[in-house]
Structures are given as C-alpha cells and as structure tokens.
Structure 1
Amino acid sequence: MDTEHTVTAGGPAPAGRQQLPQPLGAGFLARPAAVLESIRETCPVARVRTPAGRPAWLVTRADDVRAGLLDPRLSLSGGRVPDPGVRRRALDVTLVNYDPPDHTRIRRLATPALTPARMAAHREQIERAAAELLDAADAARGEGPVELMDAFARPFAFRSLCEVFEVAEEERAALYEPVACLADKTGHRAAAVEESIARIDVFVRRRMAQCGTAPGSDVVSRVVAAWREQGGATEDEVASLLAMLLLAGFDSTVQAIGMSVVALLGHPDVQRSLRDDPSRIPRAVDELLRWDTPGPFTTKRLAMEDVRFGDTVIPAGSGVLLSVAAANHDPRCHADPGTLDPGRSTASRHLTFGLGPHYCPGSALARLELTVALTALLGRWHRLAPAVPLDELTWGGGYLHRRLAALPVLPGGGPA
C-alpha cells in the first residue's frame, strides 16, 4: 500500500521511485536529537527511507505529533482485525496490533491495576531491591568501575516487575532468560526466540490459572478478576495483554535508567543538585524522560486516509512515524530544550509515554522505578562519574528502540 510518491498541499508529485534521504542509520542511534532537530526545523513532515529500505513519513513538530497520536486515521492495525477464533500464543498479537474499539475493550482490563496508587503499594519492595543490588555492586567492584546496566539497571527492572506481578522467588531465574531474550534478540537464533515466546506463554497462562483460584493483590490477579467480571476479551487476548505488560515494562525501563544516568553524568551540576535535595527527583524524572528516550518514534502507523499536517498531505496507504523525541525537544513546546532543567514547568508534557488511546499503561510503574533507582544511586554513590568518555558509549538496537550496550561508571568519581 505504501507508494513511492510525494504529495504536498500543491498535489501529487509525478509517480515513480525517488531517491529518499536515509537519516535513521547507525549515526542516528548515538545522536538522535541532532538528526531530528535538523529535520524538524527544515522539513517538519519529511519523506524518508528507513534502514530496512521502506519509505515512511516522519512527523517531528510537537503539535503535529500530538495531533497524530490522537488521529484515528493513523492506524496501528492497518485496518486488519485479528480473528478471535484463531488460537494464538501470548505475544503473537498484542495491543499494538489493535485500534479502538478493540484496543479499548482489552486495555480497560489492565488500567485499574496500574494506577499510581496501585504501583505505590509496591514501593517498599522496589526500594529494597535497589538497595540490595547496590550492596552487591559495591561488594563486587572493589575500587574499580561498575557496569551499571548489568549490575543494576537490568536486575532492578526485572525484580521490580517480579514484585508487581508477584512472581515467586523460585520462578524468577527461569523467567529472566526468556524475558531478556525477547527484550534484545541480538545474537539469539530464531529457535531460541520461539522457545522464549512459548515459555512466556506458559508462564502467563499458569499465573492466570493461579490467580483465578487464589487471587492476590498483584497485576495478574487484578486483570484476571476484571476479565471474569467484565468479559469482553478472549483468553488469548488476556494472555497477550499480560505478556506485553511484562515485556514492555522491562527493556524500556532498563534503557530509561541508563539514559537518565548518562544525562546526569553529562550534567554534574544537575546530579549534585538532585543528590543534595532528593525531593526534586520525582519532578526531575519527567525532565529526564523528555531529555532522552529509548523510543524516538512511536510504533509505525498506516494512514487510512489522506492526513494533512500543516502544508503537507500524507497520502492514504503511507507509513507514518511520529517522532516523540523530536517533539520533546521542540522549542515551540519547551523553551530552551537543549538545557537539562529538573525544574522545567513543561516537562510533564513530554510524549515519551505517548498520548491518547495508546498512552503507555505502565507509565506509573516506570516513573516509580526511575524515581527509586535515581534516589538510590545518588544517595549511595556521592561522586558518580563516567568510566569512559560519554561520546564513546556504544549504542545498539534500532531507530525504533535505541539500546545502550553498556554504561561503566565510577561510583567514587573520576581521577583527581
């Protein structure tokens, strides 16, 4: 459906294949803000080719991105509705494969279980996990650096999810392997990925059965209770909903922790101010989420009709990428966006969690985890410094989800 022609307010350009710019390659992963700023300020609705070779439209200005997130003509399903009569494993079809009203009927089962108040009930356990992981990191490092992603970010995000999902201690080690595999498939064979999906499917359905007979106060119990009370979804859809919450809540939080620490390492004055006054950290979390995000774009959408943004019309059948990262740095929305300001009044208007029907259902948990993680890190390590120059950090993943490979830090500061 996606063609190779350009359409603007003046009408369609001549048909035929075009040489489209390709700005989202390897260089983009390390410096997305600079690439997106150039696009936003010169051609805010730009026709490009993705690294996979597919044409797409990039929408980069904050008002346009907001409008796009709320526009039902930009579809995640592409107009296709999964057949509820077909048996599927968890993760074969997830919420990002649905548009309202199907998306709404499934998502509403989880929304009450993921409120800030519900998540706050797990704060003590999450704080304990942070403290224990930092104890272990201190015991293992001696006087050397700590690789923060492996020593803290990944196990912390996983343990937080286990607390919220009430995963038994004896099950956690076995669950981590498929979660980690599906979060980052790099280096894993197709057979390993398929096995991981199957293991997640078994885990989720077993927890659903357990919560049906012996419910607790965890997310799974609340979702299952809502499903039994309200109906409106198949067992496969509920299993996929829970599996998606588990997977989406892992790597995105891991990367958000890493990116937040990178930002603070590059701004020691901000780091110091938050360490001196930890009460500022919850508000600073929104500014850090604005500053950098693992997902520079939302999931690719399909224009079901012609959609106009300013003077540009995106034709029906086109792939559309809404850039939350570009919107988060749009000076029309955030004054002086290149300054990391933990007291910024507009920080909560960032679009890292999206907007509208597809707003991230796990946003309250993510904010809680980031607040706890940064409070623990800054409270424990009083002179946190990078162990390597920040411009030498290795970035992987892809343009839809950037991934920090490693983050070596010096808890006691750098050389005198």
Structure 2
Amino acid sequence: MRSETQERFYPMDRGNPFNPPEDYAELRDKAPLSRVRLWDGTHPYLATRFADIKVVLSHPRFSCEPNREGFPHVLEGRMVADKADRSFLRLDPPEHDRLRRMVTKEFTVRKVEQLRPRIQETVDRLIESYTSLPQGADFVEHFSGPLPTEIITYLLGVPFEDHEFFHRATRIQFGSKSSQAEVRQSLDELFAYLDALIDAKEKNPGDDVISRLVAEQLVPGHVDRETLINIVRLLLSAGHQTTQNMTALGVLTLLQHPDQLALIKQDPTLIPNAVEELLRYSSVLHMGARRVALEDIDVNGHIIREGEGVICSIPAANRDGELFPDPDRLDVTRPQARSHVAFGYGVHQCVGQVLARAELQVVYGTLFNRLPDLRLAVPFEQLRFRHDMFVYGVHELPLKW
C-alpha cells in the first residue's frame, strides 16, 4: 500500500476479483478526496467516501456533461462515446429532466410488475434451453446475456435477431482497449441502424417504447431526431449491459458464498434484500460516476475548484463501513442493503432500476430452485473477469448442474 500523498493511476487494479481495489479503503480512511492520474495526463479527484459521493452526485453545480472542460474521461475510447452522447444521461437539468420524463413512465413499478410474468417465462425458457446443452456450457452466452437483451428489445420494439450487432457495439464502446477510431465507427453503425429503425416505426408503429416516443415526442417536435436516437441507444445499451453482468456476477458470488445461498434457498422472502446486497457488494459500474465542478464547491470541508473533475467510486461508496458495518462481508440479511448507490444517486440515477431489480429477483428466485446443484465447471482461478470493460463482470461462466 502506498502513502495517500502518492498519486495513483486510475483505474486501479483489483487484488480479489470480488473486492474493489485495495487502495480504495486506504484512501477512504486517509484521503477520501484525492488526486489520481488518467490516461490523458489529467488529474481529477477520486471520491471514495459515501458521504462525499452523495454530495457530488446530488449537487446542482456538479455537471455530468462530458464536453465541459475538466470532465474526467477514464478511458480513451469511452471519451468518444461520452462526447457523442446527447441522451439525458449526459445532460444537466433542466434539459435532463425534460428528456428523462419522456421515458420514466415506461419503467414505473406498475409497468414492470405487468411485465414480470414475461420475465418469468423468459427465465424458465432460458433455463430449459441452457440445461439442454452439455455440462459446462457458458452461462453468460446462453443465459445472462440473452435474458436482459430479450426483455429490453421486447420493450423497445427492437428486433432481437440483431442482438449480436448490439453486443458487439457494446463491447467496443465500453472496452478499455478500444481506440477512438473503433468507437467512432461503432457509433456510426449503431446510429445508422437506430435511425432506420425510427423510420420504420414512423411508417409502421407498434406497441413499444420507440413507437410511442416517435408518435408522442418526435412527430410533435418535442425532441429532435438525433436526441431520440441517443435516448434509444442509452436504453438499449444500459438495458442489457449492466443487468447481463450483474446477473452472472451475482450467480457467481452466491456460488462462492454457499452460506448465503443456503439462506435464500431456505427463505425465498430474502431474495429482494439479497438482490440489494448483491448490488451493493458487486457494484458492476466499477469505473464510477463522473462530474465536473461549475463553480467552487465545498464537499464536506474539501473545496473542489471550478473546472476540476471528480470520479465518484461506486464500489468504494458501497463498501464504506460508516454506512455498512463489516462492508466486505456478503450478508443477504443486511438491514440497510438498499442504501447502496449501485444505481447512482440524485437526479441521474438509473431510470431502469425497477426493471433491473425485477429481472434479478426472478433469476435468483428461480435458478437455484430449478437447479439446486448448480456449481462452477472450472476452477475459480480460471475465470476471466471484465477488468478491461467499463462495466464489470465475468467474460465467461462455465457451470454444471
């Protein structure tokens, strides 16, 4: 471990694949707002304490717009995707609020509960399909990848048969080794695809989110075409990328913690809380939420100057012992598990979190009941984790049942 006065390069390496980098705990205790160095030579702050991160993510004068001077770009290729993004995710209020309201009604608790039978049917069918394969089949390829993709494409009205195209685009746009040129080309291809899809929805609308956005927002002129394409791109990528990785990583985490898995098998009413604890414990958005100060701002006694960037570490916040006693222990009965910031915090928190929770609850509530002997098919040490991606998880998960 280094002194807190020594500058770290970001992103940092993990020791244990289930835990955030060891430096986070040291920084949280000694220098919870400290400078780090990025690939482009810039030196934003890294926030590692829950209380500080809540201030940054809720303060109206911290901007999330990636084209502003000082905004921290943690990956070279990702910078291209961020700067091209015109969805509400990368806009400040009031424009953020106006655009977000266009889609929030599609992801309410009532809407998601109406969708739950379809989620259950999809999970049941994918389990049947998965268990028809040879023992050791990849759970990511045959279950955790298809599940959220099927659900989000159904909701949006996107042809599921094009899922390989979306997954390839996501791998490029979220990969740490992707060049700017590769990301730019991938974005151009995805934009062209979505532009053509919106054309098709104008001519032949269906009962889906894109058709409603076209009819209710694009045609009356409430949103321009480029912005609508960006909104659909956000919903499509976020709708499968994060849930896919959280599904597989959560299954692996439970398999590696058999005492906790036994608890939810014995008492299925624990599953909703277990989902919250797994979200806290795993925190797949491991490269954080980023902001830049629009003026000098006091963050619990530390002044962030105008134009200085801040990376809010979601994994570090979710392992803060001030809020979560014994934070490195998985505890599916943890009373305050839902206090995590796995979906972000403030006005920009994940618009699809109700859907993600429902999918995870159905998976964990069904999978281990249907396959009580589910286990790893390879030694744990052979698993490849997604250190190289903006969203954390496992590349493959071979299982036996």
Partner Cα separation in structure 1 for residue 133 and residue 398 of structure 2: 14
Is 2:160 the counterpart of 1:172?
yes
Give the superposed CA RMSD: 2.9
Matched-pair contact (CA < 8 Å) for 2:218–2:224? no
Larger radius of gyration: 1
**Aligned twin of 1:152:** 143
Q: Kindly provide the CA deviation profile for residues 107-150 of structure 1, in whole angstroms up to 9, marking residues without a partner as x.
A: 11111111121122222222222222221221111xx3232111
2:294 partner letter: M
**Aligned twin of 1:3:** none
Distance 1:230 1:245, change over 3 A: same
Q: Kindly provide the CA deviation profile for residues 157-215 of structure 1, in whole angstroms up to 9, marking residues without a partner as x.
A: 21121222233xxx322x21221112111587877755643443344344444544655
**Aligned twin of 1:323:** 313
Partner Cα separation in structure 2 for residue 176 and residue 192 of structure 1: 19
Is 2:44 the counterpart of 1:56?
yes
Is 2:15 the counterpart of 1:24?
no
User: Share of identical aligned residues, percent?
Assistant: 28
Partner Cα separation in structure 2 for residue 209 and residue 122 of structure 1: 27
Would you identify which runs of 4 or more consecutive aligned residues in structure 1 move more than 6 Å?
187-192
**Normalized against structure 1, the TM-score is what?**
0.82
Listed as ranges, the matches of 1:30-109 within 5 Å are 30=17, 31-32=19-20, 34-51=22-39, 53-77=41-65, 80=68, 92-109=85-102
Match of 1:240 among 210, 219, 230: 230
Distance 1:398 1:40, change over 3 A: farther
Distance 1:63 1:183, change over 3 A: same
Match of 1:287 among 277, 284, 301: 277
**Aligned twin of 2:211:** 221
**Aligned twin of 1:359:** 349
Gaps of 5+ in 1: 1-17, 82-89, 412-416
Matched-pair contact (CA < 8 Å) for 1:106–1:238? no
Partner Cα separation in structure 1 for residue 41 and residue 68 of structure 2: 23
Matched-pair contact (CA < 8 Å) for 1:299–1:400? no
Is 2:170 the counterpart of 1:183?
yes
2:324 partner letter: H
Distance 1:102 1:348, change over 3 A: same
Is 2:390 the counterpart of 1:390?
no
Query: Which segment is superposed worse, 224-233 or 156-165?
Result: 224-233
Gaps of 5+ in 2: 70-82
Distance 1:338 1:189, change over 3 A: closer
Partner Cα separation in structure 2 for residue 195 and residue 176 of structure 1: 18
Partner Cα separation in structure 2 for residue 324 and residue 178 of structure 1: 29
Query: Which segment is superposed worse, 285-294 or 305-314?
Result: 305-314
Matched-pair contact (CA < 8 Å) for 1:396–1:405? yes
Aligned length: 381
Q: Secondary structure at the match of 1:27?
A: coil
Matched-pair contact (CA < 8 Å) for 2:154–2:160? no
**Aligned twin of 1:114:** 107
Matched-pair contact (CA < 8 Å) for 2:34–2:47? yes
2:336 partner letter: T
Partner Cα separation in structure 1 for residue 66 and residue 186 of structure 2: 27
Distance 1:27 1:330, change over 3 A: closer
**Aligned twin of 2:72:** none
1:106 partner letter: L
**Aligned twin of 1:275:** 265
Partner Cα separation in structure 2 for residue 329 and residue 54 of structure 1: 26
Match of 1:135 among 128, 134, 143: 128
